[in-house]
Structure 1
Amino acid sequence: MYSKAETSRIRKEFWIRFGQYMKPVPNAAGRRINWPNYKTGVKDIYFRMRAERDFASIGIEITHSDTELQELFYDQFMQFKRILENQVGEEWTWKLHQENEFGQFISKVEKVKEGLNVMEEKDWPEIISFLKPRIIALDEFWDLVKPGFENY
């Protein structure tokens, strides 16, 4: 069992390592980017990567507090579903109005890989191998579709 401080330290170390690994990779526009803290540039739309004790995941989260506007964003992403799947090379899971760990209703599109544990350093290469191509593909997808979300 890990203490809270040890858990925090290990997670922080993983994300630092991931950031260092991704640092030389430019975004779709050819610029330097902070991959672990990816900024979409559109309010209430986030790209989230998670590395937990039993899974790793990457996804798009729509967090607008107005559920009707959240659904509008979600529907817009649905219109781009084929483009997203072509970019990432796989199907992702789509969830409208799901309650998150903070009791907020969000909508998300995500890919989860079970059986990975960020607390085990031996799993880090596999977590990185899972996240890296997907965040790069997600960035390329966003470069194509972002203009459709900027007027909200």
Structure 2
Amino acid sequence: MYSKEESQRLKREFWIDFADKYPRKWVLYDTKIKDFSFKFYVDNKKAQVLIDIEHRNDDKRIVYFEKLESLKHILEDDFVKDLVFEKNFVLENGKTISRVWVEKTDISVSNKKYWEEIFEFFHEKMHNIEMFYFEYGDYIRDLEINT
């Protein structure tokens, strides 16, 4: 068991090593849609690549989610398999968002032997989500086009 400081140092080292191995600018928050972002998440049980839709207006949040859902077969067949789609995902703070994600389990950020596996997972899945977004982003961004 690591102290809080050791755990923070290890996570910082993890992200620095990831950035060194894959030195590129990820889309992440630069989607051109307010409160629509791509995220990496890792802890001592799982690694996830996420699409979070956190729009304050629930109607808009749901429209964006349904647009993604309408492209689910394309997204899964051509880009990323085994995605989970959740229209009303409740965060720990009680906020409801929409989330689409893929995860890898049975790994640990605290164990360096898993880092390469996590790095590869992050790179492959996020790259593919970005490629999907580059192709279908105009449709997703345009709220005038119905799902």
Same topology, TM > 0.5: yes
Q: 1:36 to 1:52 in 2, by over 3 A?
A: farther
RMSD (Å) for aligned C-alpha atoms: 1.7
Code of the aligned partner of 2:34: K
Q: After TM superposition, give the deviation of residue 126 of structure 1 in Å.
A: 1.0
Once the two structures are superposed, residues 40-76 of structure 1 have per-residue CA deviations (whole angstroms, 9 ceiling, x without a partner) of: 2321111111111111111211011222211111101
8 A Cα contact 2:39 2:51, kept in partner: yes
Match of 1:27 in 2: none
* Aligned pairs for 1:1-152 within 5 A: 1-23=1-23, 33-35=24-26, 37=28, 39-152=30-143
Q: After TM superposition, give the deviation of residue 38 of structure 1 in Å.
A: 5.5
**Distance between the aligned counterparts of 1:78 and 1:105, measured in 2?**
17
Q: After TM superposition, give the deviation of residue 91 of structure 1 in Å.
A: 2.7
Q: After TM superposition, give the deviation of residue 93 of structure 1 in Å.
A: 0.6
Code of the aligned partner of 1:92: L
Gaps (5+ residues) in structure 1?
Answer: 24-32
**Distance between the aligned counterparts of 2:8 and 2:22, measured in 1?**
21
Q: 1:36 to 1:148 in 2, by over 3 A?
A: closer
Number of residues of Structure 1 aligned to a counterpart in Structure 2: 143
8 A Cα contact 1:98 1:105, kept in partner: yes
8 A Cα contact 2:27 2:130, kept in partner: no
Gaps (5+ residues) in structure 2?
Answer: none
Once the two structures are superposed, residues 89-116 of structure 1 have per-residue CA deviations (whole angstroms, 9 ceiling, x without a partner) of: 4130111111112221111111111111
**Distance between the aligned counterparts of 1:89 and 1:98, measured in 2?**
20
8 A Cα contact 1:14 1:118, kept in partner: yes
Q: After TM superposition, give the deviation of residue 36 of structure 1 in Å.
A: 8.6
Code of the aligned partner of 1:93: V
8 A Cα contact 2:29 2:36, kept in partner: no
Q: After TM superposition, give the deviation of residue 87 of structure 1 in Å.
A: 3.2
Match of 1:28 in 2: none
